[in-house]
Structure 1
C-alpha cells in the first residue's frame, strides 16, 4: 500500500518534481515533503512561485553537498514520520582523458555517494522513519561495472565511479537497516530526457535508447516502490527493465532484455 508520507530529496525539477506530483496525486499533497536547494521566492535563478501542487511541504535551502544536509532535512520535517524516502539528487559532469576535473569529481562523489549516508543516518537517528519504511536511491545503470564495455570506452570517470559508489553505499546501508525492518533499493529509473542529460550531450541518443520523460518514468517508479520488500533490499533494480540500457543486450543477452521490469541489474 502507498506510504502515509513521502520525502523526495532533490525535487525542484526532473524526476524529483515528477515524483512529487505523482505522490501528491496518490497520497495527498499534504503528505508529501520535497527538498529544494534554493528558495521558492527569489531563488538563485530569479524564479518566483512554486512548481509543486498546493499543499506540498517544501523544505528549502537543502544543499546535499553540505555536511549538515541530514539535520536540516530532519528539522524541515517538523516531527513527521516518513514511510518512503527517495533520494533523487544528482550531478553529471562529462569527462575524458586529459580533461578530468578534480572539483567536478568531488562534487559527483559527494552528492551521489556521501550525502545519502548522512541523510539516511539523520532520519534514522531522529526516529523520522516510520516502521517498515522504504528508501530508494536513484543511482544509474552507469554505476554497473558489468555493463561497461570496451566498445563504450573510457571517460566519464566521476559519473560512473560515483554511481558505482552510490550502489555500494546503498548495499551497505541495507545491512544496517535490516534489523529495523527498513528496506532500501538502488534503481536505474530509465534514460531520462532532462536538462542534465541534455547538457551532457546525450540528447542525440534519446531516440536510439528509448529515453523517456520524467513524468513517464514516475509511473513504473511508483509501481516499483509499491513492490519493494525486504527480499529486494540492498539490490540494484531497473523498474522499466532493459529499456534505456544501451549495453544490456550485448552484455546480458537478448533473452534478458525481453523480460519485463523490474529487473535486477548486475553490479
Structure 2
C-alpha cells in the first residue's frame, strides 16, 4: 500500500506518517523544505512544484492520497482592523487551491491504484451549522475545501475513487494550541481508521476523527 501525505513534517501529518511507517506501509511525505529521506519537497501553492513532484513519481500508484497541508493565518485577528487581503490570498492558496492542485497533479497516480482513495483534512470550523464567529479566513477556506471534496467525490465516483473529508479534532499542535483536547497520536489513529473505512458507499462523507458524521 502506497500513501502520500502532504504537510507530513509536523503535527498531525507527522503523526500519521510515523504511524503508517510503523505499520509497514510505503509512505511518501511532503514538506516545503528540500528532499530528506522519505520526505519530498512540495510547495502546495506552486503549480510548478506540483509538476516536479508528479514527474518524479512517474508511474507510481498511490492507494491513499492525504491532503493534510494547511495553515491558520488569521488566528488572533480582529474584525475591526484585521484580516488583510494578502492574508486571505495566502489562506486560500494553501487550504483550497493547494488541495485542488495536489489532487489534480497526483490523480493519475491515484487512478493507477485499484480503488484509490483521497482524504482531505478540513475542520469542524468548515461547518455552516457551527458558526460561533471569528477566524473568518480559516473557516471560509476550510468550508471551501469541504465543498471541493464533496464535488470531487461526485466526479470521481464513476472511476471507483472515494473521497472523504475529515475533522481531525481539536489537537495540541502549533495550530491548535496547548489547551486542545487531544494529542496528535489520538488524532492520527482516529483518522487512519476513518481512511480505512472510506469506500464508494461513503464517498463524500464529512466525518470526525472518532467516526461521527459531522453536520455540513
Q: What TM-score results when the alignment is normalised by the length of structure 2?
A: 0.92
Pairing 1:142-221 to 2, within 5 Å after superposition: 142-148=125-131, 152=132, 154-198=133-177, 203=178, 205-206=179-180, 211-221=181-191
Aligned residues: 213
1:125, 1:77 → 2: CA distance?
A: 10
Q: From the CA coordinates, give the structure whose radius of gyration is larger.
A: 1
Number of the residue aligned with 2:78? 96
Tell me if structure 1 keeps the 8 A contact 2:44–2:101. Answer: no
Contact 1:36/1:58, CA 8 A, preserved across alignment: yes
Deviations 1:119-142 (A, max 9, x none): 112122466641201110000000
| Aligned residue number for residue 212 of structure 2 | 263
Flag the 1:127–1:220 CA change in 2: closer, same or farther, 3 A: closer
Query: How does 1:1-267 map onto structure 2 within 5 Å?
Result: 4-28=1-25, 31-39=26-34, 57-60=38-41, 62-93=42-73, 94=75, 95-98=77-80, 99-125=82-108, 129-148=112-131, 152=132, 154-198=133-177, 203=178, 205-206=179-180, 211-240=181-210, 262-267=211-216
Query: Taking structure 1 as the reference length, what is the TM-score of the superposition?
Result: 0.75
Could you tell me which runs of 5 or more consecutive residues in structure 1 were left unpaired when the two chains were aligned: 41-49, 51-55, 241-261
1:45-98 Cα shifts (integer Å, max 9, x gaps): xxxxx6xxxxx63212x1111123432331232431110111110100222212
Task: Specify the SS of the correspondent of 2:65.
Answer: strand
Q: Which residue of 2 aligns with 1:47?
A: none
**Offset at 1:179?**
1.0
In structure 2, the residue matched to 1:257 is none
**CA shift digits 1:155-207 (9 cap, x unpaired):** 21101000000000001111121111000011001111001223xxxx4x43x
